[in-house]
Amino acid sequence: MNHTIEKLNRVLSYVKNTFVGKDDVVDLLGISLLARENAFLYGPPGTAKSAIVRTLANTVKDGKNFEYLLTRFTEPNEIFGPFDIRKLKEGELLTNTNGMMPEASMVFLDEIFNANSAILNSLLMALNEKIFKRGKETKHLPALMFVGASNILPEDEALNALFDRFLIRINVDYVNPELLQQVLLAGRKLENNTDTEVPEILSDEIRELQDLCKTIDLRPVYEVYINTVISLRNTGIAISDRRAVKMQNLIAASALICGRNEAILSDLWVLKHIWDTEEQIEILEGIINRTIEKDAHPKSHPQSLHNKTPNPEEVMKDVKILVEKWDGGVLSFEEQNVIKDKLRYLQTRCDWIRNPEQKQYIQQEIENLWQKILQSI
């Protein structure tokens, strides 16, 4: 395996050991970093969103970090820097970016959807093209990755363009109660700054990997990838051509981080994390799991093999909700499709239920609902 990839994996392992139960979050940030794509963290306060990004950023030995909590009143100067007074006296309108976002290698913007119109356009260009433009100034940004975070999803249409700039969407929740003791111990250790050797990586080494990511051979998965994009679009998940092109970078990053120079079917696991709404999280998981479940490659990414064992009671409860909705009255074509998609997802989840009696009972209920759906056609 490439020596630099080993360094990055050591860094990610260190962050995962520091934040118990957040392996999926850290792995997805690693994918974003390799692909040089932006990541969005979604979850309630107190789920270590900021701390995880900060810890990862601190492992970049020579990097400059920029972290900011946005409010409705945040001004462009607070993000990009103030105008240079000395140059202003000479009649030049230039920005003093020292210590600000345009010079950072790792950028974290908390409560990103508080961005107001005054900074929105500059922010959109920075996120999309890695360019800072202000007046006559144009500066290419050294940012290795942008990470945004919020505990809400955008409701204002004006913010949809901003949300669209984050290719990976990561759902960050409280850890499983079974891991709580480990979380408490790890948190105590972190607060006490217990001496732990922190692995390091250079920003140029990350850039080298980002360039290497572009050379990964995606031909082995092209046909399945194209069919998956078409299938997701038919399901109602909006994937623009631009996003479809960029999503290839995520697949390549999954292959590279596993030490491979070509993609395999299970690398499509990253597509579980391109959702726009909470409802799409489950739908995507069901569709992508069905696509990759037959891949048993020994060098698959660990997250591709990770299917959360479902709670049978919760699955049954979700099935009953769908039955009630179907029996409840006239449904639009779109509403019918949503029910079908959720039912397919629950069918996939059912395969992972360990208790055979519970599994058989739920499968029968799902089959009964499918019969109703077929009879109505």
pLDDT tens digits for range 24-80: 999 999 999 999 999 999 999 888 899 999 999 999 988 889 999 999 999 989 999
Residue 289 confidence (pLDDT): 86
Please count the residues of the chain: 377
In this predicted structure, which of 255-259, 269-273, 335-339 has the lowest mean pLDDT? 335-339
* Residue 195: band (very low, low, confident or very high) from pLDDT cuts 50, 70, 90: low
Q: Give yes or no for residue 186 having a pLDDT over 70.
A: no
Q: Give yes or no for residue 198 having a pLDDT over 90.
A: no
Torsion of CA 300, 304, 308, 312, to 10 degrees: -100
Q: Give yes or no for residue 356 having a pLDDT over 70.
A: yes
Q: In terms of C-beta density within 10 A (0-12 exposed, 13-18 middle, 19 or more buried), how is residue 85 classed?
A: exposed
Please state, rounded to an integer, the average pLDDT across all residues of the chain: 87
Distance CA 53, CA 80 (A): 20
To which CATH superfamily is domain 3-191 assigned?
P-loop containing nucleotide triphosphate hydrolases (3.40.50.300)
Q: Give yes or no for residue 212 having a pLDDT over 70.
A: yes
Average pLDDT estimate for 312-341: 86
Higher pLDDT, 318 or 213: 213
Average pLDDT estimate for 87-108: 81
Average pLDDT estimate for 316-321: 90
Residue 53 confidence (pLDDT): 94
* Residue 138: band (very low, low, confident or very high) from pLDDT cuts 50, 70, 90: confident
Nearest to 225 by CA among 186, 251, 257, 189: 251
Distance CA 192, CA 189 (A): 5
